[in-house]
């Protein structure tokens, strides 16, 4: 009687361990899928005055060159 309960407990323990392993594997697969490479959303500008290349944020419409101060933007000038 005791050995039968012991076997049931072992089977339950084995199933729980396998379930936990599957859950961890599914979590890692989901994490690897959500952490793919993404294209940067920043903009790269090259100053026509001093030829300096610099990065501005995507929400930024206009920017001035950090070296010479010339205004650069979507509509020029
Ligand atoms: Zn410049």
How far is the centre of ligand 1, averaged over its atoms, from the C-alpha of 8 (Å)?
76
DSSP the chain: -HHHHHHHHHHHHHHHHHHHHHHHHHHHHHHHHHT-------EEEE-TTT--EEEE-TT--EEE-TTT--EEETT--
Q: What is the pLDDT of residue 22?
A: 97
* Distance from Cα 70 to the centre of ligand 1, integer Å: 6
Q: What pLDDT score was predicted for residue 52?
A: 93
Could you read off the pLDDT tens digit of each residue along the chain, which spans 77 residues?
Answer: 556 688 888 999 999 999 999 999 999 888 888 777 777 788 888 998 999 999 988 888 888 999 999 987 655 44
**Ligand 1 centroid, distance to 40 Cα (angstroms):** 23
């Amino acid at each position: 009687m005791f050995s039968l309960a012991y076997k049931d407990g072992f089977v339950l323990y084995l199933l729980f361990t396998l379930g936990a392993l599957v859950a961890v594997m599914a979590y890692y697969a989901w994490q690897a899928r959500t952490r793919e490479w993404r294209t940067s959303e920043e903009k790269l500008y090259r100053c026509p005055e001093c030829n300096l290349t610099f990065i501005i944020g995507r929400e930024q419409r206009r920017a001035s060159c950090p070296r010479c101060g010339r205004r650069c933007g979507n509509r020029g000038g």
